[in-house]
Amino acid sequence: MNFNEFKLKVKSRWVRINFFDRSLNFFFKKNRIFLVVFSLIIFSYCAYLWYSYIYHPGWSEAKKQEYIESRKEEDVVFNKNRFNKVISEIESRENYFQKSVENIPDIFSLE
């Protein structure tokens, strides 16, 4: 291996490292005000988006009325068998949890 080639390889590695260090220096040490301003701009933009979505929805009055009318036309199907099944399950759970606690063995006793 030629010493000059080795020297070039080492130099190229140092150049990459120095470039990385310089960029970190730029962002974190010398230009903190740049990061603060950039962060404030991003935060302000996010706050504006949040405010606009919460307080100014994108629906016009016509679209709102169309949505209300479409919801009125739907029929709700009531399945009495499923309803009774849910009620019986709720009652069985209630009965299970109302059992007395005296029959449960004490797992912390040393006997």
Q: Which pair of tokens denotes residue 84?
A: 């009774």
CA 94 to chain centre: 36
Name the region of 14 (left: φ>0; alpha: ψ -120 to 50; beta: rest).
alpha
5-34 per-position pLDDT tens digit = 545 454 555 445 555 666 666 666 667 777
**Structural domain total, the chain:** 1
28 vs 25: CA distance, rounded Å: 5
Residue type for position 86: V
Q: Is residue 44 in some structural domain?
A: yes
Please give the residue range of the domain that contains residue 91.
3-97
15 in a structural domain: yes
pLDDT digits (tens, 9 = 90+) for 73-83: 667 777 899 99
Query: Is 109 part of a structural domain of the chain?
Result: no
pLDDT attached to residue 69: 83
pLDDT in tens, 57-77: 777 888 888 888 887 766 777
> Is 102 within the bounds of a domain?
no
